Amino acid sequence: MKKDSKSLYYKDYLKLDELLSSQSPRSKELGKEAHDETLFIIVHQVYELWFKLFLHELDFILKLFREKEVDESNIGRGVESLNRILEIQQLSIRQIRLLETMTALNFLEFRDLLFPASGFQSVQFRMIENKLGLDENMRLKYGSSSYKMPLAKPDASEVTKTEKEPSLFKLVEAWLERTPFLEFKNFFFWDQYSEAVNNMLAEDKRHISENPNLSADEKTFHLKEYASTEANFEAILNEDAHHVLVREGHRRLSHKATQAALLIFLYRDHPILHLPFKFLSKLIDLDESLTAWRQQHALLAQRMIGTKIGTGGTTGNVYLSKAAETHKVFTDFANLSTYLIPRSALPDLPENIVKNLGFYYSPESDES
């Protein structure tokens, strides 16, 4: 990189004149400045800066996973970017406490001047959701309209572009489907896992049926619970049953990608699978942190406006609370804990596979 001999000044580098002069309270423009409006503006401007950095890191991860082959070092770089995004999210959550220093009465001094402007018009946040993989059919309706309805046409067009690009969810799904560890010459993971699960369930059922310390009613209760557990496992072991759940919207991840993710979670202790495990775990953390941010936002809305309609026209905290529960992208990964089995029950891996999982894998290495 060529070094610029021109002297650089701090204020010019950060463009502080433009940045620090970009707060224009509406109340001041209309003749009676509300003191807390400056706080409100700055906090939301900072949110947009954090969203910009979020998108910067997310675009980097998307670029890595667009490759036909994602090597191990790139998984590590993806984990680093997800760590940074998670820190951004933690800062975003903590910023809400700064807004809470504003009382509801002080907010009312300028709130009516904001209509119809709203956080629903944050183009960057909508782009983040789409790039992560939040499909429109998963979203709560903005009244009876599309979530893009509050946006100006140029902004709506920018958001629509992100709907058509491969999302992180889809790219990770494709990456998982390409994993080489599901089938080797002498080892078929899914067959071995299915057998281990069936053995475990049969043993559980036998313990219930033959337990002399349980009454007949207690056995009936526990066997009913066992049947529920068995049905849960059947839904993942049976590919057709899995397809039905995907078709009905109860699951999103393909069966093959689910198999690969489960293998990664179960055999995470092997060196080559540890980074993929960390990456998938960070996706779960990301969903959780976005949910926590939405929940805190909902609580703030309740504190500030109670049951009033929000400036964007929604039912305020009610909408935000429901969005926190439904606007999740990586739930399938979080739910994999349902299908984990004890290490002691895991199928033993053949020696050549253990060797491959200990070092960088190449397709030719399983020939030996």
Q: Does the structure show a pLDDT above 60 at 362?
A: no
Region 6-27: what's the mean pLDDT?
Answer: 95
**Percentage of the chain lying above the pLDDT 90 cut:** 66
- What is the rounded average pLDDT of the residues 340-363? 75
* pLDDT at residue 337, as a whole number: 93
* Nearest alpha carbon to residue 250 among 273, 232, 264: 232
Q: If we measure between CA atoms, which residue out of 8, 2, 354 comes closest to residue 181?
A: 354
pLDDT in tens, 250-299: 999 999 999 999 999 999 998 888 999 999 999 999 999 999 999 999 99
Q: In this predicted structure, what is the pLDDT of residue 312?
A: 52
Q: Does residue 190 or residue 368 have the better pLDDT?
A: 190
Q: Give residue-wise pLDDT tens across range 131-169.
A: 999 998 888 876 678 899 999 999 999 999 999 999 999
Q: Is 168 exposed, middle or buried (0-12, 13-18, 19+ CB in 10 A)?
A: buried
Task: Reply yes or no on whether the pLDDT at 123 is more than 70.
Answer: yes
Residue for token digits 């979020």? 54
Tell whether the model's pLDDT for residue 367 goes beyond 60: no
For 196-235, letters b (16+ CB in 10 Å) and e give: bbeebbeebbeebeeeeebeeeeeeebeeebeeebeebeb
For residue 246, what are its two tokens? 């995907």
Q: Are 51 and 122 spatial neighbours (Cβ–Cβ below 8 Å)? A: yes
Find the helix or strand (DSSP H, E) in which 209 lies: helix 189-210
Q: Tell me which of 1.20.58.480, 3.30.390.30, 3.30.420.10, 3.40.718.10 is the CATH number of domain 27-367.
A: 1.20.58.480
pLDDT at 314 over 70: no
